[in-house]
Structure 1
Amino acid sequence: MQQRSTTPRVDRGQLTVADLVSMPHLGLELVAGAAGLGRRVQWTHTSELEDPGPWLEGGELLIVNGFGIPEDGPGQTEYVRRLAQHRLAGIAVSVRAPDFTPEMLAVADELGFPVLKIPRQVPFIELSYLVANASERSARDRLARHLRIFETLRLRNTIDSDVPGIYRQLEQISGYRLALISPAGQALLDNWPWVPEIEWGDALHATDLRVLPGGYLVPLFVGDRATAYLVGIEHEEHYPEGLAALQHVSTLAALDAIEDQRRRETAHRAGGSALARALEAGASHADVERRLHDAGLVRDTPFRVVAFGRIPNPLPETRARDWLADRRIRHAILWQDQLIGVVQCTDDQLAELGAALNVSIGASPTSTAFSDIPRLLRQARWSQSLAVDSNRPEVVFTEMQLGLVRWLNPDSSTMERLAEDTLRPILEHDKSQGSELFHTLAVYFRQNGRMRATAGALFVHEHTLRYRLNRIEQLTGRDLKNMRESFELWLAVEAQALIVRDTDN
């Protein structure tokens, strides 16, 4: 948790809660929260809502009759905590309000949140006029400071824009320490790396403004997506100028969020193009290595090829690459008939990616040779196919699947020849007749030979399925009810996804 300084900050001439309490003609009585007497009163607001905080900027003195104040201790305690969380100057309550409970007064003292009682003879309007008149000069000063924030937009758009210098200037003007972060809680800008040490909870999934301990979090949108967040934490040496000032700063910060998305899109195109080149038959290994290195992947560093299942949400490619980029994970993503990628990350990070996207992922063994990508893609797709029956997202690592790879990989040319000899009649029939016998056989094995489950997965009637299986038996000369012959077909189907073809290299 960030440590807060207790050093008083320089006042700009506004009234404080202590000033109001010291005025005899008002007769205000401080009943709790004496530690907050130095709070500036920027404005007054009247509301009987149970939670008026979302409609306030911070710095207001809330004046109420008390209709919205609960009568019980827990209710009053929560009421005061909400007001303090929104950083109001304090609350002034009519004598008509419910009696304050000891629990509520104790919390107000703990938070340093002033609670005042207004005498019956003092009208609310008199208190409001007093604050407004005292704040008139301050309001002009605040307007000038807000205009200075927009002046930085001109500086931001110059060729020699000094981004750190601009954000330091904005911190002085706004009174907030500023951070620009990704949805993963990482600094968005390399030259502005500060990130507050706070518990984010679900704040980094927010699409609306959030109140944080000591500050605010403002979502920054590119299109209809919150791609970054501006965080403002009250500065230790300057008075915060309120939420309006921070929202003005977010206008400038949004430009950096847009620029970050442009950089990501450029890197994404370069990575996708390099990965597509790596999968081309006869591609130069040196050219592939250069392209992938230029796209951000590190030479001689282990990587995996991954194949994604169907991502249930829109923009699957964008969501996958942004998740990786937010965490500074080096990758190349390509969308063809299936979302695939090359990633340099830990196995735990891969599992987190699958959970975040709610998708299963097939992961090849690791390699350091980019020329292995075509072979590794076959293995990743085979591994991903093993996860189709799972009810939850999972990462299926090729090397962990029952030792099958250890049996198939030692003599891949032999396995290729055996698989082709076994499956050739089926594959040639599919090619000439436009049938789906190979796919039917693969799904049949995946469903462990269960007819009804296989028919359901294929969206066909069981009679149609039975006809296809009979046709497979006729073409291959093998009986699916015979364990040895069925196993040979199963092994050929599994090997088809793993074998290395000469055309891949």
Structure 2
Amino acid sequence: MLSLADVLELPVVRRALPEVVVGDAALDRQIRWAHVIEMPDPDDLLKGGELVLTTGLGPAGDPVHQTAWTRSLVDQGVAALAVELGSTWRDVPPAVVAGCARAGVPVIAFHRPVRFIEITEAVHAAVINAQYALLARGEEIHRRFTELILRGRGVPEILAELCAAVKSPVVLEDAGGSLVYYVSGPPGDDLALSAWADVHRAEARGETAEGVLCADVRLLDSSWGRVMALSLEHRLDDFDRVAIERAALAVAIDLLTQQHDEQLRARSRGAFLSELADGRVEEADARRRAEALGFPGTGRGALLPLVAAWRRPAYTRGRSEGADGISWTRLSGDLRGALASTGLAVLLGPRDVDLLVLLALGSRDYDEALVEHVAHLFHGALDRHGLGPADAALAVGGPADTWAAAGQGLRRVRRSAGAATALDVRRWYDARRPGVTDLLHELRDTPELEAFVAEQLGPLLGDGTPRGRVLLDTLEAYLAAGGRKAEAARALHLERQSLYLRLRRIEEALGVSLEDEDVVLGLHLAVRARRFRRGART
């Protein structure tokens, strides 16, 4: 757009001998239009951003009227006021100057008569020319970004082009405010990163950061992050704003092109593996579909099923995301690459809250060292995203010689992975043989299991006091220790006599003897079932 300083340099304005009466520091104000006002009541005549021209006929009179007239202009968002002296006023009245000064509106005095029509024509032409130039420059930078994308270039090249265009450091950050990539340009890394940190400090205080222009990078109707330009050695203007907006669009296209392709492929693989686990794919069809999905596993040995499940209930109820909204779909590329480094063929895809995996063992036999290595690679990939075994449970089944057997294995391992979300944290869980854990997890939402837990533990569950909570924890530790009191006391950090006292209170509350094997078995099942009901994903 056109600034007031630009207007003062127009030949027709210079001929009027303009003097800045007040507002020297505001000559960068943007002028959207020029308008002549000579009416005593200027209400509802402006839209904001105008240069108002007057000879003083409208506000002529007493200071009270002049103050009200000026306030009306200010309230409507006037950008600047220009007064031709001589015909009405010899000087701009103090009431007008004071009213504009309070609002930061510049006042210009013309010391030579001028035809206002010539000024309005010149200003309007300059505004339109500036808008056209802005549009043309915006189209040019958009064309350059498009060419980069078509040549297979990505975010680094887009940001480098933007940095050169706006002559300022540029930053790409994600939705959480973390730095993704930046190009500092001549100011250097230290100044650029310091300015970026200043933006976040200002925003943390609830303030609008100065010297920065931002544009959202939007993917699939949600904000992925922001592109920023930081004003250090170059003043950012409207062209820079357009350039940043076009760069954000180019970045979104690049991210979408990369991620959408991988996400579509990942979802296709996940859908196939889920159908395989449900027994809905014939052997021959399974082989063809796997090969079409890029899995060269046919004829390359047994298939090893693995399933990963988000551990924390808050992340998994009805969602396909884990910690901080990170989904298996987003992670699938990194995880597939990590597992492929074993030299084994990998077929991997997300389904609901699970990640389903098949590894073609080739000439290798199943052994614990191989599984340990696979688990190490899997959690190493998660670690690069700030995740670990406490966020996701990995279950590993036994090798299968056919696609049908692999599907059955996936189904069984998927149950085990779900059950493992409520168990103590380990790097991986052996799912080759279903156990009581899997059964309890499958039954976790049934009224029969709920009734069983209530019958076994009712008095302790219904207590609702800290004492009841302590007794429940004590019973759980005692049962986990296999009835070994010394081990249970160590786990609870208790003296043995204190443990004995608690165990007697438990027996009294439940009306049972902990020396009875059937009682202990029932209590153990109830305690473990209760863990699934409160801790496993639901």
What is the TM-score when the length of structure 1 is the normalising length?
0.48
What is the TM-score when the length of structure 2 is the normalising length?
0.45
Larger Rg, first or second structure (1 or 2):
2
